[in-house]
Structures are given as C-alpha cells and as structure tokens.
Structure 1
Amino acid sequence: MRYAFRIVNVFTVDGDRLSGNPLCVFEDARDMSDTQMQALARQMNLSETTFVLPSDKVTAHVRIFTPGFEMPFAGHPTLGTAHVVRSLRGLDRVAFEMKAGIVEVTSRGDTWTLRAAKPPATRPVSATRAELAQMLSLPANAVSDEPLWVNTGVEQLVIPVGSPEHVRAATPVPELIEKHGFSETRDEAMAYVWAREGDHLLVRFFFTNHGAVI
C-alpha cells in the first residue's frame, strides 16, 4: 500500500521555507491502523505527524501523533494540516474532528487562525517567577507577568518574559524544567516562553526528551 504525505514547515520566518516547525501530513489515512500510525510517526521522527481521515460531521477527522504517543490537540499540526487540506480541496475554512473536539481553522492568504475546541482552562503555577527564570537561565526579574498552566485540549506551561531578547536567550536547565514544567496530565515536562516583538509574538517551546531539552 502506498500513502501520500507532505512535509510542511509551520511558522516560517521571513520567507525562509526551511525555517519554522516541520510537520508530516498523511493526506489519506483511511486504511491505516492505530499501530501503523504510531509506527509512521516514530519513523518520521518529527515532533508531530498528522493523519487525515473522513468525517461525517465536519471537513475531516485528524489524528495527531508524536513519535511516542497520540495527542488530542496541538496548534502547529492543526495549522499545517489545514494548509494541506486547503491545497487538496480548495477550502479557506475547515473544521477538524479531533480527540479534543471540533477545531475550526480559517485562512486569509497565508494567515491562518484557529479556534480551539474549548475555552482555555487555567491553573496557577507553584514555582515563583524567580524560580522559572532560573529554570530558563535568565535574570531573576525576566518573567514579566503571571505564568499559568493553560489547557485548550492539551496542557501547557506558558511563561511571559520581558523582551524578545529573553526569549532568544532562554536556555532551560533539564533538571529544573523537569521539576517546574512537568504536567501530570501529559506525563511530560515542557514550557512555552513568549514576549511581544512589535505587532507579533516571539515564542519558543521547550520539552524534555530522554533527559535533554529540545
């Protein structure tokens, strides 16, 4: 059996087609088993691989796999898959059936907007701002506003910092991100670090993998 797939880069910078966050999208996964999907995601070895399936409710049923497990929702795989579906079907507005619920995505040219399946749920972070700054190898006052655990389908630790330079300089300490950034609902440690840069947001996402931070 042959399956068509595409490698797309999401969040490319200044027209650089090889920048951004890579994603593998299988265009039609109707004959694949769960085991095959997981094996292919492991073979591709990207942060996520998506599989497009028919849906009797909305545009498509989309499943998202990391090399190790299936995710109910994630932002960059959703946007990248929407780009592929638009190129296949000529649609500027799509809705995906995902494990987290129905996710709507719209485009205007190359600008994409998604609506999460549910409103964000938040909870406080037990670590202090200074402890999170230390976790990121930043000055003690670098965390500029309240950090939060945010869940719109999957839980993320979201940390605002004072400047784009802080985002670029962030270098997580593996043992500290395991301590302060571990989510029991995801059984992994991660952190989103962000700051405003003009009319945009500069964001970096860190996660642990076998003791290293990626």
Structure 2
Amino acid sequence: MTGLRYAAFTTDPTTGNPAGVVLDASGMTDVEMQRIAAEIGYSETAFAVPAGDRRFAVRYFSPLAEVAFCGHATIAAAVALAERDGPGDLLFDTKAGEVPVRTASRETVIASLTSVPTRSRPATDEEVERTLAALHWTRADLDPAWPAHVSFAGNEHLVLTTATRDRLAALDYDFEPLQQLMLERGWTTLQLVWPENEDVVHARDPFPVGGVVEDPATGAAAAAYGGYLRALGKVTAPRRLLIVQGEDMGRRSDLTVDIDPADARVTVTGAATLIPS
C-alpha cells in the first residue's frame, strides 16, 4: 500500500510541511508502517485505522521511528478524511491520548486539532548549555525576558527564544550532538522562536531525532508553545496567535494557535493540500 502525500499548514503544495497519510492501515504491522514511512521519506506519516463513527486509531512514523503524536500529520490526515467523507468532527486515538479534530470546508478544508493537556517546566542550566553548544549559540543570543522551558503537548519540546530575528535565521547546528541530547531527554523537536509582536511568532524546529534537519511546520510544538505561554502567565484571557514556521527553508507554514487560560489543552488550526504525484 502506498500513502497519500499532503502539505500541511498551507494551501500551496510547494510550501508547508509534507506529510504522508494512509487512510486505512487496518491489518498493517509495525514493520510495514515503518517501511512505508521510510519510503515516503517525509518527517512523519500518519496511519489511520477506522475505530467507529468518524473515530480512528492513528499512529505516526518518521523515517526512523514511531512518535507518539504529530501535529502536521494530524492536520493532513484530517483534511484527507474530510475530503473523502465530508467535513465534520473526528476523534483520533493516539499514543499521546485522545485528540479531537474539527474539519470545516471554507475556500478549502481547514482542520483544528485540540491537544492533550499541556504542561511546561523550566529547563535546567545543563539542558540549556548543551543545547546552545550544539547550536553554536551563547546565552547572549537568547532573550532573557523569555525563560527556557521544556513544554509538552503530546511530545516534549525545548523552547528557546532568540533575542533577534537574525539569530533565528542563522541556524547551522551540529546534528549528532543535538540528536544525542534530544534522545537522552526525550525531546521531539527544539522550538526556537522569535516573537515579532503579541500576535505573531516566528519559529524554527530542528528535528534530528527523526532524521530530519528541520521541520517546516510542527503542530505538536505549536500546541506546546501555547502551554508554555499559559505556564508563564501570558494568557489571562482567550488568546489567538499565528506561528509562522518554515519561511527560512522556503516552505512557509501558518499555524493558528488558540489558548484559553481555563483549559490546559491548546487548539492548532491549519489547512492542508494534496501534493500532486
């Protein structure tokens, strides 16, 4: 069986984050799913198994290994299902927990995933120093107003805020040392961010644990970032922001993030479009 190919968090198949989608993986073994994910070659492929009325058991594989949750592949799979079955509510049972997804048809199909409950903790000095060494950055490259955190929304992500947009743009890191640190700590990506203003944040996400230098859109990290803001007390009323990711790779992705101070879950919304074969 071959998978579909979608670009998530965009309406342009030449931008966004490509994801593989297998709409019915019933009976497939782990070995088969891993093989297909490697053949597709994208950072993640989603494998859906029907489990009831608009409910699916969904697993995610990078070219190297299974991951508990993947936001952009969730958006891609939800849009593919909506295009096949019609828009409406879906429920994905993932290894990270239940993820409700709402799909709606506007000019294109839009999907909104609601994460598992988020959490966030301060990063240790050792975690920050080892990460900075792998990135070839120093403490002076970080904005001291934004503390480093390890944030979770199904996977853990180290959040670092740069002092300037130029620092974020100049990303050239040591792959193997960063990969090793992330494997030790159980981090899926780094969430490197620069807030343009209160409503727009620019992000880059190294993903060496998945065998990928950088992810052009990371829905799970976007949800975790919402949890980070909530943990810092930056969300005193329902808040929406746009995370722009992938632009330094030439694959701009737009991730809309909704955070509610009364709910530990975070909603991430985006479009997806089929990549022509």
Task: Answer whether TM exceeds 0.5 for this pair.
Answer: yes
- Corresponding residue pairs, total: 208
Higher relative contact order (CA 8 A, sep 6+): 2
Is the contact made by 1:138 and 1:170 (CA closer than 8 Å) also made in structure 2?
Answer: no
Call closer, same or farther: CA 1:127–1:197 in 2, change over 3 Å: same
Call closer, same or farther: CA 1:107–1:137 in 2, change over 3 Å: farther
The equivalent of 2:3 in structure 1 is: 5
SS in 1 for 2:63: coil
C-alpha distance after superposition, 1:141-190 (max 9, x if no partner): 222211111122222112122343332222223365357x424353x774
The equivalent of 2:33 in structure 1 is: 37
Q: How far apart, CA to CA, are the structure 1 residues paired with 2:203 and 2:157?
A: 13
Q: How far apart, CA to CA, are the structure 1 residues paired with 2:116 and 2:8?
A: 20
The equivalent of 1:116 in structure 2 is: 115
SS in 1 for 2:5: strand
Q: How does 1:59-74 map to 2 (within 5 A)?
A: 59-74=55-70
Structure 1 residues 136-145 or 31-40, which shifts more?
Answer: 136-145
Q: How does 1:96-135 map to 2 (within 5 A)?
A: 96-107=92-103, 109=106, 111-127=110-126, 132-133=131-132, 135=134
SS in 1 for 2:140: coil
SS in 1 for 2:7: strand
Gaps of 5+ in 2: 215-277
Question: Sequence identity, in percent?
Answer: 25
Query: Could you tell me how far 1:26 is from its partner in structure 2?
Result: 0.7
Call closer, same or farther: CA 1:105–1:134 in 2, change over 3 Å: same
Higher share in helix: 2
Is the contact made by 2:50 and 2:57 (CA closer than 8 Å) also made in structure 1?
Answer: yes
Question: 4+ runs of 1 displaced by more than 4 Å?
Answer: 128-134, 209-214
* Root-mean-square deviation (Å): 3.0
Q: How far apart, CA to CA, are the structure 1 residues paired with 2:184 and 2:132?
A: 22
The equivalent of 2:158 in structure 1 is: 157
Call closer, same or farther: CA 1:7–1:43 in 2, change over 3 Å: same
The equivalent of 1:194 in structure 2 is: 193
